[in-house]
Amino acid sequence: MPRALVTGGNRGIGRAIAEGLVAQGHEVVIGVRDMTGGASVAEAIGAQAVPLDLTDLQSRAAISDAGAFDILINNAGVLPEGGMLANPAGFAACMAVMVEGPFDLIRALAPGMVARGYGRIVNLSSDWGAFSQGLHGPNAYGVAKAALNALTLALSRELPAQTVKINAMCPGWVATRMGGAGAPRTPEEGAQTALWLANLATDGPPGGFFRDQKPLEW
């Protein structure tokens, strides 16, 4: 049974992804900052919870203590207020949660995937970080997503594509705490492409950027 880690899996798209993976028969662990609330969510959806604060280097480094994972879903995200020059702390948080954190988790978990001959890594990105769309994301959020896209493509050239596949995806505008109640898509709809990428067959694509299971331009 493949074992999956979903960061920020206690609400929104992350929770929908975790629930979907559980329904598919995977053993699922959600990484959460608040273990009290996170443990309750994990119990409700049939998963486990581990403490994980992507803004904290020691917390990221400790993820190896949770064991081996075959699937990594880098879902956690933050959307700070204000511009980058006015809010440098927001820029730092974006880079920690959406670039440095995913990189550290991949560094920690990918060697085991390579050794076992199987791995699926899914980076939750956004077309707000796509140069093809004019990099129109707000403040540091769009910059971090662009960097996450670049990281995805670059690492796809280092990982063995036949066995360990890394891809990025855009869930679209989803009704979550970040997306707002007026968004047209449900978390479950936003989660579908992540679930597809988490279960790619051997001949599935590596190093791509997708929405609704269709390629997007970087």
- Are the CB atoms for 154 and 146 separated by under 8 Å? no
Amino acid at 101: G
Is 118 designated active site?
no
Q: Three-state SS for 212?
A: coil
State the DSSP code for 177: T
**Tokens 């995913």 found at:** 102
Out of 128, 141, 209, 210, the active site residue is: 141
Residues in CB range of 127: below 8 A, 6 or more apart: 133, 170, 211, 216
State the Cα–Cα distance between residues 97 and 54, nearest whole angstrom: 5
Active site residue ranges: 141
